[in-house]
Amino acid sequence: MQPSPAQPRSAQPRVTAVLVTANGGEHLDRTLDALVAQTRHPDNLVVVDVGSTDGSTAELALGGSAGLVRLPAGRPFGEAVAAGEREAPTADGDDGTDAAPDEWLWLLGHDNAPAPTALAEMLSAVEIAPSVVVAGPKLVDTDDPARIRAFGESTTRAGRSLALVQDELDQGQHDRHTDVMGVSAAGMLVRRSVWRELRGFDPALPDVDAALDLCIRARLAGHRVAVVPEARVTSAGPIEEFGRKRVSEGRRVRLHRQAQLHRRLTYAPAGLLWLHWLLLVPTALVRAVGHLVAKHPAAVSGELAAALAVAFGGGVRRARANAARTRRVGWAAIEPLRVSWRRVHERRTTSRDVELARVEDAPIARASFLGDGGVWVVLAAAALSVVTLYPLLGTPAVTGGGLLPLSTSVGRLWQNVGYGWHSVGTGSTGPSDPFAAVLAVLGSITAWSPSTSVVVVLLLSFPLAALGAWFVVRKVTTRTWVPVVGAALYTITPTLVGAVTTGHLGAAIAHVLLPWLLLAVLEAHRSWAWASGASLLFAVVAASAPSLLPVLLVGWVVSLVVGWRRAHRRVFIPVPAAVLFLPLVLAQVARGNPLAVFADPGVPSATRAPSALQLAVGQPLPDWSGWLPATTPLGLAASVLPVAMAVLALPVVMLAVGALLGHRWAVAGAALVLALLGYATAFGATHLTVTGVGSTTTIVWPGSALSVTALGIVLAASIGIDVLPRTAPVTALVAAVFAGVAVTPAFAASTLGDTLLQPTTGRVLSAYVNAEAQANPDVGTLVVDPQTDGSLAVSLERGQGSTLDDQTTLDSTALRLSRSGAQLATLAGNLASRSGYDPEPALRELGISFVLLDDAPDADAAQQVHDRAAGAIGQDARFTSIGETTSGRLFHYEGHVDRVSTGSAATQATHVLYLLVLGVVFGAAALLAVPTAPRRRRATSNVIEAEEPATTFDEERDE
């Protein structure tokens, strides 16, 4: 390309075009052709190639007054323009530093193809307005020239840059507004003498806001900036995308925020500069939290990086000195050109209304919760819960099975979370179970009575399970009444009934949350709110039922593979759970017992293993949901009961398998695979014995894994009902009735008095011990429990007694007794029989002031060992008999005991640090999970205009 010879200076001003290209092969030829087609050609052309690797400039033929400058890849647009300007000759043809007053620079990118009259129109405009030293064209879309990409720039009162017109159909409606605060770098025409006076773009603003900053400094130097609506130049994208294939959201936020902060410090009054600098990082932290609340996590890193870069980058001092050197007028001169808060608010409101309208136009849900029976099945489940658990109504706490009351204070609940000192048994330092965090959150909800939260969870487990199942079944079905059947089937499964009636609190919580977790994982690709909700549910389910970790991880991996195109949101789902489990996993691995991670949290309780057939029909216990003790007097249990229970489960299984014959066989197949995965996990749990109960070990509770099986079967059966023809209602009714009959005895357990759950006031030990614990919270009580085989179970209670949040699987899964544990066993054995053993050193060292001899069970061997222990302790002069309590016979040791250590200062510091980590991780996830209004799109369709009245070039025509 060879521009036409330069015109005499008296005829027209001299123009040097600086064309910057960076891998612009897609646009460069069109831009060069557009330059050739100009009705007013530039006098000089400098092409600046920024490390192009696409061959677009390899064979570029330039001649005459055109030149080529090559820069390394990665150099910003502003530096490339500066290099091109230095290379271009001045009006006098020398390399001096002075430029003629009528010499101009025309800045273009490889995607800025100007219309044939673009340069002529801008030159005509500045000729009639001598005070205008920077002019900008109307930037239009490359593929759709009728759409405006950018037309003028301004700032808010806080300094945030805004495009006055952006992504709007061009109908000439903005052509009368010519005076603006700034224009884009693309297509900018700037007087060369002013460019040199202002020293070009600020090096600290390599891309974003570089042109705006130049225009503001030109305004403060006493000049004007204007747009020329008749001049049109194309643009393929914003300046931060120039020469880049893709700009991540985090990088985009960093570039814009860094530019805003840099300009804020550059323009700030000297007296307020240090205040602005000190607030950079704290403000960034607050804004990062705001990004999380707004479901914009990708912006967090960009926000923090921008603040740190501006605070410690060192470019502010140079920029302030340069701005002060050329300033001639005050900020009041450009204040009218800023955008008022009222107009910013109008813009945000309009954008929000557009987004809400778009959301409201989404497809209508298949079934209505209020209108299609969802609320009724939840209310029915609530009524069933009241009938089944009516003894718990009004009680402040519950005990029995795997349950104990919680600690009486919220502070104590959180003290038992994480790494620290745990008083269970003889006391130890180590990580808590992840379930302790769940209990702490529950107890904090009912802070006036933490144990009440456990009662509330048990009472609400049935209606909440129905609610979750209704929504997840609606996700995979089309008939409005099918979710009601699915919710009913999932609510009355033997796994939930068994978990509630046997005190397996974690299993009940997992059963309730599994449908919500599945729904959140399915929707995680849509928004960060769903993904963060899934991460929280994943952590709570894993903490409540660690045996589900294999299932959860397999499901997570499958979701990543299936939805790999949008896997970036699902990748982080297990992170909160990993933070919860990491200390416990490391501790169990160090002890050589990694499988103990899957142990059930809570009070260790003996569980008999069900058979493979019982697991296949969803029975977590070998009593067939209470049918075994009910039918034993009839003598039919061994032969008839397995067949009868299999028949009762047959309709649901047939519906689930029959769903494979319908058109949604793929979804049904996935649900059945989920059910099989749950069954395999349950079967493995019955062969994993890691928890010690007295002198024996017990299996991992298989009911949690069977909840996964139940969810998969219910989903598949619901799909089967949905695709069946006219027989669907009858089939669904039969399946629901049969499922209800299968668990009837379990629901009637409370009425018949055959339940492990017992209401309590929340007091674990006697009132006498509790009174002593008020003065000495670490007072020890040795509990001796006679066993049916003639042995003794020994435990050590601290303060007011062991609570549910005190329990830790590190203690219940220990492979061997610790030194203090062996000392405790030796002490109890010698106290329970006459011997020459001196118990005083052990009592003093372990801090034991009381001995509680539990009542013996109905067994001769247990009664004999009880009587022997009562006689031996009662005849020891060092013990005083307090008398009978609700739990057994209590003795008081009259000697002096030592205060028990509760952990070192380092242990307490580690505990606080771990709580802070949990707070950061789960706080961020919770903020992201909170639903908010739809976030505004970056490109908006409305217009902001400066409040200054429109100014045209006609005002200076006579100057």
Q: Report the pLDDT averaged over residues 438-460.
A: 91
Q: Report the pLDDT averaged over residues 74-96.
A: 77
Q: In angstroms, how far is the first alpha carbon of the chain from the final one?
A: 37
What CA–CA distance (Å, rounded) separates 91 from 763?
A: 95
How confident is the model over 708-760, as pLDDT tens digits? Answer: 999 999 999 999 888 876 677 788 888 888 888 888 887 776 666 567 788 87
Q: How far is CA 226 from CA 124, 126, 133, 235, in A?
A: 13, 9, 8, 19
- Is the confidence at residue 540, as pLDDT, over 90? yes
Outline where DSSP puts E strands in 122-271: 132-141, 147-150, 153-155, 161-163, 168-169, 189-191, 224-235
Q: What is the pLDDT of residue 613?
A: 86
How confident is the model over 455-473, as pLDDT tens digits? Answer: 999 999 999 999 999 999 9
* Residue 348 pLDDT level (bands cut at 50, 70, 90): low
Q: What is the pLDDT of residue 137?
A: 92
- Judged by average pLDDT, the poorest of 199-203, 480-484, 520-524, 565-569 is 565-569
CB 133 within 8 A of CB 194: yes
Model confidence, pTM: 0.73
CA atoms within 13 A on the CB side of 644: 14
- Percent of the chain exceeding pLDDT 70 equals 87
Residue 689 DSSP label: E
- Is the confidence at residue 372, as pLDDT, over 80? no
Q: Report the pLDDT averaged over residues 7-24.
A: 75
Q: What are phi and psi of 294, to 5 degrees?
A: -85, 10
Q: What is the pLDDT of residue 634?
A: 66
- Percent of the chain exceeding pLDDT 90 equals 23
What CA–CA distance (Å, rounded) separates 150 from 164?
A: 7
- Judged by average pLDDT, the poorest of 107-116, 261-270, 359-368, 619-628 is 359-368
How confident is the model over 674-689, as pLDDT tens digits? Answer: 999 999 999 998 988 8
b/e code 528-546 from CB counts within 10 Å (16+ = b): bbbbbbbbbbbbbbbbbbb
Q: What is the pLDDT of residue 554?
A: 93
Q: Report the pLDDT averaged over residues 56-70.
A: 76
Q: Greater confidence, 109 or 55?
A: 109
Pairing assessment for the beta strands 189-191 and 689-693 based on DSSP bridges: unpaired
How confident is the model over 99-152, as pLDDT tens digits? Answer: 667 889 999 998 889 999 999 999 999 998 889 999 999 999 888 888 888 888
- Is the confidence at residue 196, as pLDDT, over 70? yes
What CA–CA distance (Å, rounded) separates 924 from 901?
A: 35
- Is the confidence at residue 949, as pLDDT, over 70? no
* Residue 943 pLDDT level (bands cut at 50, 70, 90): very low
- Is the confidence at residue 9, as pLDDT, over 60? no
- Is the confidence at residue 95, as pLDDT, over 70? no
Average pLDDT, the chain: 82
The structure tokens listed for 664 are 């949604």
CB 471 within 8 A of CB 461: no
CA atoms within 13 A on the CB side of 501: 30
- Judged by average pLDDT, the poorest of 75-79, 568-572, 695-699, 743-747 is 695-699
How confident is the model over 312-330, as pLDDT tens digits? Answer: 887 888 999 999 999 999 8
Q: What is the pLDDT of residue 3?
A: 45
Q: What is the pLDDT of residue 592?
A: 86
Q: What is the pLDDT of residue 667?
A: 86
